[in-house]
Amino acid sequence: GDGKLKRSLVIISTLDGRISALDPENHGRKQWDLDVGSGTLVSSSLSKPEVFGNKMIIPSLDGALFQWDRDRESMEAVPFTVESLLESSYRLREDTVLVGGKSLTTYGLGAYSGKLRYICSAVGCSRWDENEPEPEDVLLLQRTQKTVRAVGPRSGNEKWNFSVGHFELKFVPEVQPGVNFLEGDLKGGGVKRDDPKVIREEEEATAETKDTVIKVSVADWKVMAFTKRGGHLEWEHQFCTPIASAWLVRDGKVIPISLFDDTSYTTRSDEILEDEEDIVEAARGATESSVYLGMFRGQLYLQSSVRISEKFPTK
Amino acid sequence: GDGKLKRSLVIISTLDGRISALDPENHGRKQWDLDVGSGTLVSSSLSKPEVFGNKMIIPSLDGALFQWDRDRESMEAVPFTVESLLESSYRLREDTVLVGGKSLTTYGLGAYSGKLRYICSAVGCSRWDENEPEPEDVLLLQRTQKTVRAVGPRSGNEKWNFSVGHFELKFVPEVQPGVNFLEGDLKGGGVKRDDPKVIREEEEATAETKDTVIKVSVADWKVMAFTKRGGHLEWEHQFCTPIASAWLVRDGKVIPISLFDDTSYTTRSDEILEDEEDIVEAARGATESSVYLGMFRGQLYLQSSVRISEKFPTK
Ligand SMILES: [W+6]
Ligand SMILES: [W+6]
């Protein structure tokens, strides 16, 4: 009912590919939890030091590649992305073939039940639970995943690979009535980029409920709520894997939660082995403070709320 | 041995996704036949007249979209491709969500046995038959497939979809020795577009063996060999599905076989039903003679050896 429609949710995407929903007005209690079964958001063999000697290639979650020179302790953007590497008119050395792809998949689910209604991807759509007893607001989770593998053309032996992805979250507005012609969709009047005002409006919105401000600590894998008055910790939720994205869904709007208000990057020692931790600390010294360099199951990755490539020099 | 290295092959990619190899010096006898099991090169629900009234959207095999106005009998390029439609900053109507993807997969196989050695794709590499008793030249088949689906955001009901793909063929040169550093791969000196001279050289090459000229009839689903002297038909091979691409592999080179020397477009009546045939004939009247409009299992598609979008006005 109406009460339900006004409930807020904190939606969290973690690097293992899962999505969780917390109830911010009930001490951060878990409302629902979803595993879409499509694997981790980041994986790579590039970040293994033995692969390329003293150079280390680190992917960011939005698909850019960075090169860390351990001798010079510098971090530089590599001027290529998944898309450009996969262009067939480009090629690397004669003895390297690139394969991979980019996929865009949408999951439609009930906002408050977390119940999956459908999955639509390149291979088709599957739907469930169509006989809903009562209608429920729908959340759209859109996952983009980009993958490249370099292989030897004769043997098919893989040399290196990386795959990066992220989720976007949308709250579905009421369906507009009207004709449904492709021409109308595709011609100038109907096709446009997102209205920047809307974007700016979203950027200005704060991740707050009535009484609390929602924060995320990427280094501690935690979501926390602080009271607006007095600023003490009201509740926190510990995740078991790193947080990739976070949103507050409130009053039918999706408000991104900034991941970088917290500048203290303590490393969870129980998940990162000692030799890996040394690597993380050394590489982190080469990054800027507002860019987070993490390690997830042995994979280095970069994470930021702005376009990372705009912040680094290109050699 | 040397004898084997000098054998020629005619390689055919058909729209059902299969690859065949014919021996042009043995009356076009089939050398081998490969089904990689990844489905047809083109499928679409756009070309059903009931979907969008009097407009009909027809995909070309290279990923462009065309719009056929049956009243004005005109064919126009639609200014979008799979890539632009899948950009998340673009959106169609509020009540439409786009999903899909682009994949690049490589199949490595023995040139003369047709034996599959490996498949490498976004999901990984599989290899077979590694203990080859003797080395064999390797053919690389690279399949690119692009797919878009439009769905309703609440229900996951699909509105329309299309998927187009094609194979490219490469003959693997001897592996160059040398260091294998990613930096060397990715920086300016090592990365380049294809040398245009090489391209031009390939374009100038003719699809000929010692005694015959190889031709393809796209409308009749046939490969034919004519004697250079006298021009009579030496052999022909009938395929059961339309031909998408054809190459002659000779002396370690891959020579594309032009599909459009034959300007007689007779329609195979046994594969196209009568009401479909009417549609094909009407739509074909709106195209240029060097662009082939075909129907494959109820799906209209366009095919050309040049970039189709360069030949049509964009509204
Ligand atoms: W654990
Ligand atoms: W048949």
> Percent of chain B, pLDDT > 90?
11
Q: Is the pLDDT of residue A95 over 60?
A: yes
Which ligand lies nearest the alpha carbon of B242?
A: 2
Q: Is the pLDDT of residue A72 over 50?
A: yes
B-chain CB neighbours of A94 within 8 Å are 173, 175-176
Q: Is A21 exposed, middle or buried (0-12, 13-18, 19+ CB in 10 A)?
A: buried
Q: Between residues A22 and A150, which one has the greater pLDDT?
A: A22
User: What is the whole-number distance in angstroms between the Cα of residue A15 and the centre of ligand 1?
Assistant: 14
What pLDDT was estimated at residue B49? 54
Q: What's the rounded mean pLDDT across residues A4-19?
A: 83
Tokens of B126: 């599989």
| H-type alpha helices, chain A | 2-5, 82-86, 182-186, 196-204, 274-284
Tokens of A184: 């109308």
Q: What's the rounded mean pLDDT across residues B101-125?
A: 88
- Give me the residues near ligand 1 (ion), CB cutoff below 5 Å: A 240
End-to-end CA distance of chain B: 57
Closest residue by Cα to residue B97 from A107, A71, A263? A107
Q: Between residues B187 and B41, which one has the greater pLDDT?
A: B41
Measured in whole angstroms, the distance separating CA B89 from the mean position of its chain's CA atoms is 30
Chain A nearest-CA distance from B130, in A, is: 8
Q: Considering only A113-122, B159-168, B279-288, which range has the smallest mean pLDDT?
A: B279-288
Q: Is the pLDDT of residue B71 over 70?
A: no
Q: What's the rounded mean pLDDT across residues B27-47?
A: 82
Q: What does the pLDDT look like over B241-264, one tens digit per residue?
A: 888 999 999 888 899 887 765 444
Query: pLDDT confidence of B20, banded at 50, 70, 90?
Result: very high
Q: Using the beta-carbon criterion (under 8 Å), do B176 and A104 form an inter-chain contact?
A: no
Q: Using the beta-carbon criterion (under 8 Å), do B182 and A122 form an inter-chain contact?
A: no
3-state secondary structure of B292: strand
Q: Using the beta-carbon criterion (under 8 Å), do A149 and B122 form an inter-chain contact?
A: yes
Q: Is the pLDDT of residue A23 over 90?
A: yes
Q: Is B231 exposed, middle or buried (0-12, 13-18, 19+ CB in 10 A)?
A: exposed
**A74-81 and A64-69 as β-strands: parallel, antiparallel, unpaired?**
antiparallel
Mean pLDDT of chain B: 72
- Determine the Cα–Cα distance for residues B258 and B245; give it in Å rounded to an integer: 8
Q: Between residues A51 and B86, which one has the greater pLDDT?
A: B86
Q: What's the rounded mean pLDDT across residues A18-37?
A: 88
Q: For residue B238, how many other CB atoms are within 10 A of its CB?
A: 9
Among A75, A86, A104, A195, most B C-beta atoms within 10 A, so best to mutate, is: A104
A-chain CB neighbours of B51 within 8 Å are 182
Q: What does the pLDDT look like over B163-222, one tens digit per residue?
A: 888 899 988 854 443 333 333 344 333 334 333 333 333 445 678 888 899 988 887 888
Chain A with chain B: Cβ pairs closer than 8 A: 232
Q: Is the pLDDT of residue A199 over 80?
A: no
A-chain CB neighbours of B165 within 8 Å are none
- Determine the Cα–Cα distance for residues B254 and B170; give it in Å rounded to an integer: 7
What pLDDT was estimated at residue B84? 74
Residue A245 near residue A14 (C-beta atoms within 8 A)? no
Which ligand lies nearest the alpha carbon of A268?
A: 1
What pLDDT was estimated at residue B194? 38
Tokens of A10: 């904190």
What pLDDT was estimated at residue B265? 39
Candidate from B55, B102, B184 with C-beta closest to A183: B55
- Determine the Cα–Cα distance for residues B16 and B301; give it in Å rounded to an integer: 13
Mean pLDDT of chain A: 72
Q: Is the pLDDT of residue A91 over 60?
A: no
Closest residue by Cα to residue B296 from B77, B67, B72, B39? B39
Among A105, A128, A140, A185, most B C-beta atoms within 10 A, so best to mutate, is: A185
Measured in whole angstroms, the distance separating CA B142 from the mean position of its chain's CA atoms is 10
Q: What does the pLDDT look like over A125-182, one tens digit per residue?
A: 887 755 554 567 889 999 999 888 888 888 888 888 888 888 999 888 544 433 333 3
A-chain CB neighbours of B75 within 8 Å are none
Q: For residue B69, how many other CB atoms are within 10 A of its CB?
A: 15
User: What is the whole-number distance in angstroms between the Cα of residue B270 and the centre of ligand 2?
Assistant: 8
Rounded to 5°, angle at Cα A152 from A149 and A155: 120
Q: Using the beta-carbon criterion (under 8 Å), do B104 and A98 form an inter-chain contact?
A: yes
Q: Is the pLDDT of residue A120 over 60?
A: yes
User: What DSSP element (H or E) covers B279?
Assistant: helix B274-284
Q: What's the rounded mean pLDDT across residues A93-97?
A: 73
Measured in whole angstroms, the distance separating CA A274 from the mean position of its chain's CA atoms is 27
Q: Is the pLDDT of residue A247 over 90?
A: yes
Q: What's the rounded mean pLDDT across residues A2-21?
A: 80
